[in-house]
């Protein structure tokens, strides 16, 4: 009797090579996609995230549909918000995040009068462009761990004059860089 070499199991089962290829492809995909998703989530949760400006409250400095990167590291590890910073706020009673400029810090007495911002009864110089308007506010002492925010387009801004000082814990981060549209690419001031 003649002996023939035994066929391997994979040659005996039809489609087993395709099955092995599929498993290999799925494994490769998992090894690539899962770490990428985890890294993206970590970056989004702790380091930075992209957001879109909605509305006119920050014109002429930021425009509706402009895209910005919000960095989250500075306020967590280095220092709190500073006057003039553009911040993104996630308020519990607002459907969408707000983007505003920090004008008052904890413990300061703030007043908005005839389009001017006063801290401790002294006018604050604003080196950025402001469209004046809107209602007056204060004088009011900003509570500890809170900031007072205004839009740069004061007449069309829903800001701390309406909802009061914002808890620092509601600040997502600092709007840091504009990346879209291309004519507005650059660091924010």
Question: What percentage of the chain exceeds 70 in pLDDT?
Answer: 88
pLDDT beyond 90 at 163? yes
Average pLDDT, the chain: 88
For residue 10, what pLDDT is reported?
Answer: 46
Active site residue 57: yes
List pLDDT tens digits, range 134-150.
999 999 999 999 999 99
| pTM listed for this prediction | 0.78
Most confident of the ranges 7-16, 47-56, 88-97, 166-175: 166-175
Structure tokens at 4: 């023939």
**Strand ranges inside 6-108, DSSP E:** 48-52, 67-71, 86-89, 98-104
Which residues, in sequence order, are CB contacts of 87 under 8 Å at separation 6+?
81, 99, 100, 101, 102, 147, 149, 171, 172, 173, 174, 175
Catalytic residue chosen out of the listed positions 72, 100, 160, 178? 100
For residue 38, what pLDDT is reported?
Answer: 73
List pLDDT tens digits, range 3-46.
555 555 445 565 788 888 888 888 888 888 777 777 767 666 66
Residue 149's closest CA among 93, 96, 85? Answer: 85
Cross-strand bridge partners of residue 86: 101
Catalytic residue chosen out of the listed positions 8, 16, 57, 178? 57
List pLDDT tens digits, range 76-92.
888 999 999 999 999 88
List pLDDT tens digits, range 86-128.
999 998 888 889 999 999 999 999 999 988 999 999 999 999 9
């Amino acid at each position: 009797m003649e002996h023939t070499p035994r066929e391997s199991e994979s040659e005996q089962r039809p489609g087993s090579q395709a099955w092995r290829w599929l498993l290999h492809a799925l494994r490769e995909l998992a090894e690539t996609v899962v770490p990428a998703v985890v890294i993206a989530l970590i970056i989004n949760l702790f380091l930075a995230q992209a957001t879109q400006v909605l509305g006119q409250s920050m014109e002429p400095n930021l425009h509706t549909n402009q895209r910005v990167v919000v960095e989250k590291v500075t306020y967590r590890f280095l220092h709190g918000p500073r006057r003039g910073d553009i911040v993104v706020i996630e308020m519990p009673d607002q459907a969408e995040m707000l983007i505003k400029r920090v004008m008052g810090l904890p413990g300061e007495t703030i007043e908005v009068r005839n389009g001017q911002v006063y801290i401790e009864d002294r006018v604050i110089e604003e080196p950025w462009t402001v469209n004046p308007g809107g209602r007056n506010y204060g004088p009011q002492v900003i509570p500890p761990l809170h900031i007072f925010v205004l839009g740069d387009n004061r007449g069309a801004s829903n800001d701390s004059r309406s909802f009061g000082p914002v808890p620092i814990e509601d600040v997502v981060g600092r709007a840091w860089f504009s990346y879209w549209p291309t004519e507005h690419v650059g660091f924010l001031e």
